[in-house]
Amino acid sequence: MTLSYAPGDSLAHRLDPRSKLLVQAGFAAAAYAYTTPRGLAALTLLAVACLSFAEGGPRDVWTYRFAFPVLALAPLVAGATLGAPWFRPERAAATGLASYRVLLILVVAAGYVRSTPVRESRAALQRTVPGRAGQFLGVGVALVFRFLPLLKRDLLTAREAIRARGGGALPVRDRMRLVAVAGVNRAFGRADRLGTALNARCFAWNPTLPRLAFGRGDAVALAVGCGLLAAAVVRAL
């Protein structure tokens, strides 16, 4: 399963993407400002609410499973030492809270991706950041959202092809090398075809984008985002 936009009529779907981006920024700032278990517990409730407002669930978070081993091993690596006492629980606990903080940010991001079309994300960036910089960011985000799932699918296809040809008996390092080479080759191939397609369609930096408008629900989202940012600033001071 690949996380992507899912059409719907949830509360998050009806919000302006600029409001949702502000909530994400405020949440990330608050998560880095309030690193205590109590603060992260409160942010957990907010993260679950953000995902539920987009009609998401555990399956959406599971799409980030590639990051789970890193987040889980980080506390063990941070707590390990080369000499006595061999393991420092305080270091492991601090890193564990940091890993959990990243997980919460991923949960909020999953709600955004599920409830926001790619074109609206591009429009939000281009209308928030002025000039060519906003256009560049908008194009970059649009391409990432559209082609990252394809690249992931290419890697899975390469792995299945190697396994079907008896590659499961090869050492792990050789299998990783084969999958990586196949993935890079397909990525370059897609990039070449993308460039040709953009030229053939007279790619424009400033195309006609969807109309964005704030609604009543956005007032609450904007208040939440501003409140989180203010709380993070107060904590930092």
pLDDT, mean of residues 216-230: 91
- Reply yes or no on whether the pLDDT at 217 is more than 80: yes
Q: What is the pLDDT of residue 168?
A: 76
Instruction: Kindly state the percentage of the chain with pLDDT values over 90.
Output: 24
Helix (H, G, I), strand (E, B) or coil at 157: helix
Given a contact cutoff of 8 angstroms between Cβ atoms, the answer to whether 62 and 21 are in contact is no
Q: What is the pLDDT of residues 182-208, one digit of tens each?
A: 878 877 787 777 777 766 766 666 667
Distance between the two ends of the chain, CA-based, in angstroms?
42
Contact criterion met (CB below 8 Å) for 79 and 88: yes
In tens, the pLDDT along 8-35 reads 899 999 999 999 999 999 999 999 898 8
Confidence (pLDDT) at 25: 92
Give the predicted TM-score (pTM) of the model: 0.73
